[in-house]
Amino acid sequence: MRHNKKGKYLGRTTSHRKALMRNLVISLIQHKKIKTTHSKALEIRRFIDRMITYAKKGTVHHRRLAFKFLQNKEAVKILFDEIGPACSERPGGYTRVLKLGLRQGDAAPVSMIQLVDFIGVEKAEKKPEKKEKKKAVEA
């Protein structure tokens, strides 16, 4: 029986699993959305929710706790300066997992996990630029 065994193993050793979760959470903090397998997306929700809760509190102690897990100064800075204040009014549910279908190579279920408060911000930043068409110069 699996009493008191939280989380999924994902077919990895403990150190490999911790490194995987750390890298996925850092990527989610930097890019605001990532595409991964469904089971990994469900698993990193536990970690990113904890990090955002630390960022909402914003104390030096919580910054150090976040750095202890992330081990990345840039990610901690983004987390506490951008994500924490944006999620300050939200009582929880900082992420959204969307199923995308099956992966071509191995038919693994793929999902997109994204930060809820940054969906509209990302669309505003990426405005399509009009490209000027160059006409061929006849000589």
| Residue 8 is assigned to a structural domain of this protein | no
- Give residue 124's pLDDT: 60
| Residue 2 is assigned to a structural domain of this protein | no
| Residue 128 is assigned to a structural domain of this protein | no
| Residue 139 is assigned to a structural domain of this protein | no
Strand partners, 110: 37, 101
| Residue 77 is assigned to a structural domain of this protein | yes
Tell me the helix, strand and coil percentages in the chain, rounded to 5: 55, 15, 35
Per-residue pLDDT of the chain (139 residues; tens, 9 = 90+): 889 888 889 999 999 999 999 999 999 999 999 999 999 999 999 999 999 999 999 999 999 999 999 999 999 999 999 999 999 999 999 999 999 999 999 999 999 999 998 876 656 666 666 667 666 666 5
- Give residue 139's pLDDT: 57
Say if pTM beats, i.e. exceeds, 0.85: no
- Alpha carbons 75 and 30: distance in angstroms, whole number: 7
- Give residue 135's pLDDT: 67
Question: By the 8 A CB rule, do 52 and 116 touch?
Answer: no
| Residue 45 is assigned to a structural domain of this protein | yes
Phi/psi of residue 137, each to 5°?
Answer: -85, 125
What single letter denotes the amino acid at residue 8? K
CATH code for position 108: 3.90.1030.10
| Residue 99 is assigned to a structural domain of this protein | yes
Domain around 29: 14-118
Domain count, the chain: 1
